[in-house]
Amino acid sequence: MRQLHAQDIEDIAVGAALLGTGGGGDPHVGKLMALQAIEESGPVDLVDVSEVPDEGLIVPLAMMGAPTVLVEKVPNGEEFPRVFEALKNYLGKPVFATMPIEAGGVNSMIPLASAAKLRIPVIDADGMGRAFPELQMVTFHLAGASATPMVMTDEKGNLVLFGTISNQWTEALARSATVVMGGSAMIAIYPLTGRQVKDAAIGGIVTLAQRIGEAIRRSRIESRDPLAAVLEVTGGLRLFKGKIVDVSRKTAGGFVRGEALFEGIDDYRGKTLRLQFQNENLIAVSDGNVLASVPDLITVLDSETARPMTTEALKYGYRAVVIGIPCDARWRTPEGIETVGPRYFGYDIDYVPIEERVSREWAKGGEPA
């Protein structure tokens, strides 16, 4: 176990936004919430998965909805203890800890802010190793865990308890409720035992986010290449460098859907890249060649600072580097591909690991594998 202080929160927010592949909510909003909670209540205890008692109750917390909505519909801070207490009371059992459901801007910060307020630990793990747009897209689902009982609330105080026959039904019903609640809501979901977390969670994700954020921060202080630092920590590959020349997005059905078009610069001059997203970046295609697709991570970074850009922050004229990072091995299983592969999202392609799609030559501006 170790404690997380203000600088740790700053680093985690940056790293989680990078792992969030464009989604997971506004990292700035989440960071401010976590920093305020730590200032008021003290540092957060971060515990390793191995330290969790097998019978302990773990309740992940998150925001559900379209990331663009959160920019204008900022939580008031009361949603997290309300939804947490409601689920705890329903289960009639004390909660040992909370944890992120995914790595993403606000969704990595919500458990930290809540843990500080409630004085419980946060587990150094999540259920995705990145961010995905739907509730069943977690390793807990692959392991047979139920998303319900699940509690949802909004800033007005409305509270909904879900009990469903499948995790897909949880997604469908909760998505409809999210739209009625204004496009975003807070949830307590996938109540798990410590044994289930040990068996199914992706461990070390909070620490990885912190290492990424720290690498970007230190590279600036030490005048080193921040992109190289990111690629070293994540094992990622450079996919493209270019200027954004077109962005289209719309918020519908509780998701942000759209695409961004990049024109190549420097080593990628004369090439284009089209990036499509549904809350998170899903597929990157350059001049007819698929460079990366879900479940591998696709992240857009500022070309100068290597700080991550969320899908709602993409703007015409921005210069950016697009990188790809191999996903957790569990997403590369047949069950994982069926749940989060490109065909699930409507792309008529088979999943191919990013390291097989992208050659060293392409990473330097040459040709794809």
Q: What is the DSSP letter of 263?
A: E
Residue 9, pLDDT score? 95
> What's the pTM value of the predicted model, to 2 decimals?
0.93
Shared-domain flag, residues 304 and 188: no
Asked whether residue 105 is domain-assigned, the answer is yes
Span 300-348, pLDDT tens digits: 999 999 999 988 889 999 999 999 999 999 999 999 999 999 999 999 9
Q: pLDDT value at position 28?
A: 81
Any domain includes 227:
no
**pLDDT-derived band at 364, boundaries 50, 70, 90:** low
pLDDT tens, 116-149? 989 999 999 999 999 999 999 999 999 999 999 9
Run of H or E including 229: helix 226-234
**Can you give the pLDDT at residue 75?**
73
Task: Give the helix/strand (H/E) hosting 340.
Answer: helix 334-340
Both 265 and 334 in a single domain? yes
Phi, psi of 310 (to 5 degrees): -80, 165
Owning domain of residue 20: 2-205
Q: What is the pLDDT of residue 30?
A: 82
**243 and 195 housed in the same domain:** no
Report the alpha-carbon distance of residue 8 to residue 182 in Å, rounded: 32
| Cβ contact 258:248 at 8 Å | yes
- Whether residues 125 and 248 share a domain: the answer is no
In a domain, 283, yes or no: yes
Percent with pLDDT over 90 in the chain: 80
Q: What phi and psi values does residue 128 have, to the nearest 5 degrees?
A: -135, -35
Give the pLDDT score at 362: 65
Distance from C-alpha of 200 to C-alpha of 218, rounded to nearest angstrom: 33
CATH number of the CATH domain containing 29: 3.40.1610.10
Mean pLDDT on 58-86 = 81
**Residue 215 counted as domain residue:** no
CA distance 262 to 281: 14
44 and 148 housed in the same domain: yes
pLDDT at residue number 106:
86
Query: Are 199 and 241 members of one domain?
Result: no
> Could you tell me if 244 and 137 lie in one domain?
no
Tokens of 93: 């059992």
Question: Does 144 lie in the same domain as 18?
Answer: yes
Domain count for the chain:
2
User: In residues, how long is the chain?
Assistant: 369
Rounded CA separation 94/71 (Å):
33
Q: Report pLDDT digits (tens) over 239-271.
A: 999 999 999 988 777 778 899 999 999 999 999
Burial bucket for residue 32 (CB in 10 Å: 0-12, 13-18, 19+) = middle
Confidence band (pLDDT; 50, 70, 90) for 187? very high
SS3 of residue 247 by DSSP: strand
Q: Are residues 86 and 188 in the same domain?
A: yes
Q: Do 281 and 139 sit in the same domain of this protein? A: no
* Domain CATH code at residue 272: 2.40.390.10
Closest CA relative to residue 62, chosen from 128, 157, 119: 128
